Amino acid sequence: MQKMAKQLLVTEEGLKKMEEEFEYLKTVKRKEITEIIGIAKAFGDLSENSEYDEAKNEQAKVESRITELEEQLKNVKVVDRSEIKTDEVNIGNIVKVLNLNLNKEISYSVVGSMEADPFNNKISDESPIGKVLMGAKKGDIVEYETLKGLFKLEILEISK
């Protein structure tokens, strides 16, 4: 019995990035690696050929990533911007919060796990902050635990 793959929620931007990476790996990167392997083979004895070994390792990584992206793209569901509500936090929302511990305002884009980029304030719905924000409404105070202790966020604004 085959297990059902988990549906991946992404924004249109996230889907576009996945498709671009998939196409790049299949068309450009595969060809580059094949050429490198051909050059490395020309060096002779493959048993002591580090260039060949490196190229084969890189090829395995690329093929693995292509397979992974292929599976993810089969199970992707794009979040329809027109269906995104602003009455409570969900994927596709931009949430402005006040960190009550630091007395600092921060805006987060809530995205699916495939698009998460915490350094650019794109947080996954499955991250610790994302989990507590999901379903919260303007004015709510949510809490999440970190290694530095308990943090409290007040929801100031929810937008698309």
- Residue 143 pLDDT: 96
Task: Give me the mean pLDDT over the 114-139 stretch.
Answer: 93
Q: Is the CB of residue 75 less than 8 Å from the CB of residue 7? A: yes
Host H or E run for residue 131: helix 128-133
The 10s digit of each residue's pLDDT in 79-100 is 887 888 899 999 999 999 999 9
The 10s digit of each residue's pLDDT in 9-61 is 888 888 999 999 999 999 999 999 999 999 888 877 777 788 888 999 999 99
Does the pTM of the predicted model rise above 0.85? no
User: Residue 1 pLDDT more than 60?
Assistant: no
Q: Look up residue 29 and give its DSSP letter.
A: I
Task: Give me the mean pLDDT over the 62-73 stretch.
Answer: 94
Cα 9 from Cα 127, distance rounded (Å): 14
Place of tokens 């196409």: 23
User: Residue 70 pLDDT more than 60?
Assistant: yes
